[in-house]
Homo-oligomer: A and B are copies of this chain.
Amino acid sequence: MAFKIGLLGLGTVGTGTVEILLNPQQRHPLLQELAIHRVGVRSLDKPRSVELPAEMLTTDLESIVTDPDVDIVVEVMGGLEPARSLILKAIAHGKHVVTANKAAIARFSDEIFTAANQAGVYVLLEAAVAGGIPVIEPLKQSLCANRIQTLMGIVNGTTNYILTRMQTEGSSFDAVLTDAQQLGYAEADPTADVDGFDAADKVAILASLAFGGRIKLEEVHREGIRQITAADITYADRLGFVIKLLATAKRDANSGTEGTEQLQVRVHPTLVPKSHPLANVNGVYNAILVEGEPVGQVMFFGPGAGSGPTASAVVADILNIAAILKVDRNATHPDGSPLLDPLLACSHQHYSAIAPIEDLESRFYARVLTQDSPGVIGRLGTTFGNHDVSLESVVQIGLKDNQAEIVVITHCVREGNFRKALAEIQAFDAVANVPSVIRVL
């Protein structure tokens, strides 16, 4: 018995998926029981690097998700619509779904998983986060005995590539971005990557899995890397840090165990100590660090994007569904409602409460440009102190255009207090500018 696949999209990931399915040798034998049934494309005439019978291709994507012969719909077309509608229609027609679409899942998980649970089908999405790195399934299955405390990762390859090159070359953000665009590592419109939208989608998905509650994407605090300067990278380096765009989800320290629990879910540039496992993750690589009780810290590292890695995750999801279908296609609860594997299906329906960013407790790095006059450092210190912001170090790093460049690192303080102190400091006559404020891990 073969499992019939309806593929939506034959771009980079779709092509990689077809390449694996057409070459099952030396892979898991279950691959031989998968058959590509229909492939939905935008244009029938486009030259393709994979050979498929012409009659398999169609531009009528809806005919695929409603085709009674299709067992598993694989959505690798991307974008919000018509991807969302096609996924929902596939579910309504009893198809299991595999998707690589982080944007659609991060926004529409509520309606998609509610529909999937009612229809008794799986929606798997390993490929939606960190490409080929196994992280969704390990969170669902291998780490399911843990009380997850923190999940922290480098989940956007483009920004990590840019920051790595800024670090190694001393170049500016703009120069590296332009070059990355020419080399194909960054899009012509880089907003989704460099402003942190892509990472926010991914951390919303990961947080949902790690903490068992849905996440409202608009509640994810998001900052990108456009404001990071070569100077910040140099000073961070001198202080023993590298700058990474980290996506973080963690149980808020002020949460009780019952009822009042809050999560922090945020994406922002972060000074990471060089000895930290994430500090050595460079270039387009991704890594996700999970801290749980009792496992401690585990990290998953690998290629976060690309045709092959992403297709590896897509086909793994297809095989996982096929494996379950072999054991049982139609399990039901005693009342006749469909019964899904409780580790693979989405079992939560509530939304997690997200702590406001002002309540975050973090260390901070700030670079302050002031007049080179005595007493300025003293006034900075006093003002921070008035707001309960204790300082780890205040260093005058250099002198530039007659201005002193002062780098402040705080101890772990409440973000709201830090921001209030900073607002007062920015109003000082002696302070010209505070060009950089970056959280410190």
Contacts and interface: CB of A to CB of B under 8 A. Distances in A.
A342 B312 contact: no
Interface in A327-359: 327-328, 331, 339-344, 347
A393 interface: no
4 nearest CB pairs, A to B: A294-B308, A134-B142, A298-B302, A145-B315
B313 A342 contact: no
Contacts of A328: 327-328, 331
A202 to B, nearest CB: 17
Interface string A120-151: 00000010000011100110011111110000
Interface in A308-333: 308-309, 311-316, 318-320, 323-324, 326-328, 331
How many chain copies does the complex carry?
Answer: 2
A327 B308 contact: no
A120 B138 CA distance: 25
Given A324-B327, A327-B341, 17 more contacts: A28-B212, A132-B294, A132-B295, A134-B142, A137-B138, A142-B313, A143-B312, A294-B308, A294-B311, A294-B312, A295-B302, A295-B308, A297-B302, A298-B302, A300-B301, A320-B343, A328-B331
Size class of A's contact patch? Answer: 35 or more
A168 interface: no
Given A28-B145, A144-B28, A146-B312, A132 B298 contact: yes
A340 B303 CA distance: 32
A313 B143 CA distance: 7
A313 B298 CA distance: 12
A302 B142 CA distance: 13
Interface in A1-56: 16, 19-20, 25-31
A20 B145 contact: yes
B144 A138 contact: no
